[in-house]
Structure 1
Amino acid sequence: MHNENPTPGAEAPEDDYGLDNELEQLRAAMASLREEALRERAELDNQRKRLARDVDQARRFANEKLLSQLLPVLDSLDAGLTAASAETGPLKDGLELTLRQLLKVGEDNGLAQLDPLGKPFDPEWHQAISQIASPGHAAGTVVQVFQKGYALNDRLLRPALVVVAAE
């Protein structure tokens, strides 16, 4: 007697082809999903890094407006000390102490004073307002500072106004 039912585990060749095809499609779909997941993970990682960088920048320069508004106060104290250079006494001492305290608060918040007297002129940090012949100085050297410059965490807030030695 001939059994019409195939033996268990035996499959028709066309069924084999259909399963192989389906298996390949599933493998391709899985590879595509894996690739997409890796791409999304990389994008999330990039966004996280970008956000951390933005937060760091915001934190580093949060005081920029306040410190910029204090620059004229520092200039006034500096000018007062220059005017009182020949004097001694509690008024001058008070001005010096106040200036030092303000500069310390600024430094604690990333502010740096630019006083380029005797240094080479750097157009990135200095603004030349004139040139003069200065036999005792090399050409391009800052020979006078009219107004000190300031930087906040290595970013220029205000250039120093300087006079440069001519050739």
Structure 2
Amino acid sequence: MSEERDEPMSLDELAAEGDEIDFDAQAFEEVEALKAERDEMRDKFMRALADAENMRKRSERDRREAENYGGSKLARDLLPVYDNMRRALQSSADAEKDANAALLEGVELTMKELISVFKKHGIDPIVPEVGDKFDPQLHQAMFEAPVPSTKAGEIIQVMTEGFMLHDRLLRPAQVGVSSTPAS
């Protein structure tokens, strides 16, 4: 007779004691079916876990993009305001500066505040210089003209500055580009 045990005996232990083991084919099939079901559930669980992790990463990426680029439409709408203020400051003649000193100072302060707000929200100007090489990733060619003493593809005039929103182009700088000079 066997001793009292807390754990059930293994099949090998039962066979060693000489007890007859009756393997029921139906019970064996049920165990195999349960193992298959367990494996299927484990696979579904792992897939659901992976889907949940992918969803978490996607929503984190979407949140970051919304935070960084959500205001791009508003920023794009403010760029003409910036352009008009810049034109107003550039168009004032020296004779008018004395007469309109207070007005010009107010426009300059407003312009500085607008630039400060742009910087705060990751909007940086693209300011090409005459003579720089044309970059189609940052510049928009408004016209092309043959200009003596220039190379083809050099910027010959800057109409408006461009702007980047973090690492995305908000608006390209509008420039005139030199074509191959006529001989």
What amino acid is the match of 2:20? Answer: A
Matches for 1:1-167 after TM superposition, within 5 Å: 10-13=20-23, 15=24, 17-84=25-92, 86=94, 88=97, 90=101, 91-117=103-129, 118-167=131-180
CA deviation vs aligned residue, 1:28-67 (integer Å, no higher than 9, x gap): 1111111110000101111111111111111112222222
State the alpha-carbon separation in 1 of the partners of residues 114 and 19 from structure 2. 88
Q: Determine what percentage of the aligned residue pairs are the same residue.
A: 35
**Structure 1: 5+ residue stretches without partners:** 1-7
- In structure 2, list runs of 5 or more residues that go unmatched: 1-17
- Structure 2 distance, partners of 1:38, 1:85, is 72
**RMSD value, Cα:** 2.3
Shift of the 126–85 alpha-carbon distance from structure 1 to 2, 3 Å rule, reads: farther
Q: Report the CA distance shift for 1:101/1:123 in structure 2 as closer, same or farther (over 3 A).
A: same
**SS in structure 2 at match of 1:127:** strand
SS at match of 2:21: coil
TM-score, reference length from structure 2? 0.75
